């Protein structure tokens, strides 16, 4: 099957990431072989990777190297403070 791999995912961010990125939801293009980490970098939130964000794909927590599919929903949660 030959296609250009273009699609998109809906990204929802929480906590301080909303202010950092300017809004709570984002539609991000999805070229072939795009991981959730790539999406975080595309949004300009690379520094949050080092802070220990948590991500979820369609409501299920997952690692950053997961490759979402067209139409998926990616949630990015800031690190939990305290402890």
Quote the number of domains for the chain.
1
Cα dihedral value 21, 14, 74, 67, nearest 10: 70
Q: What is the CATH number of the domain that holds 65?
A: 3.10.20.30
Establish if 55 belongs to a structural domain. Answer: yes
Gap between the Cα atoms of 31 and 5, Å rounded = 5
Domain range for 39 is 8-77
> Residue 71: its pLDDT value, please?
97
Domain membership flag for residue 2: no
pLDDT at 2: 35
**pLDDT tens digits, 64-74:** 999 999 999 99
For range 7-30, the mean pLDDT: 96
Q: Is residue 23 part of a domain?
A: yes
Q: What is the pLDDT of residue 79?
A: 87
DSSP H/E element including 17: helix 16-21
Query: Residue 83 domain-assigned?
Result: no
71 is a domain residue: yes
Say whether pLDDT at 58 is over 70: yes
Predicted TM-score (pTM) above 0.85: yes
Does 19 fall in a domain?
A: yes
In this structure, the number of other CB atoms found within 10 A of the CB of residue 38 comes to 17
Which residues share a beta bridge with 75? 12, 56
- Residue 29 in any domain: the answer is yes
């Amino acid at each position: 099957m030959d296609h250009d791999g273009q699609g998109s995912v809906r990204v929802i961010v929480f906590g301080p990431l909303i202010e950092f990125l300017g809004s709570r939801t984002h539609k991000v293009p999805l070229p072939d072989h795009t991981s959730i980490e790539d999406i975080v970098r595309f949004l300009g939130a690379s520094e949050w990777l080092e802070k220990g964000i948590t991500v979820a794909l369609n409501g299920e927590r997952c690692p950053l190297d997961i490759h979402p599919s067209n139409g998926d929903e990616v949630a990015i949660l800031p690190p939990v403070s305290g402890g």
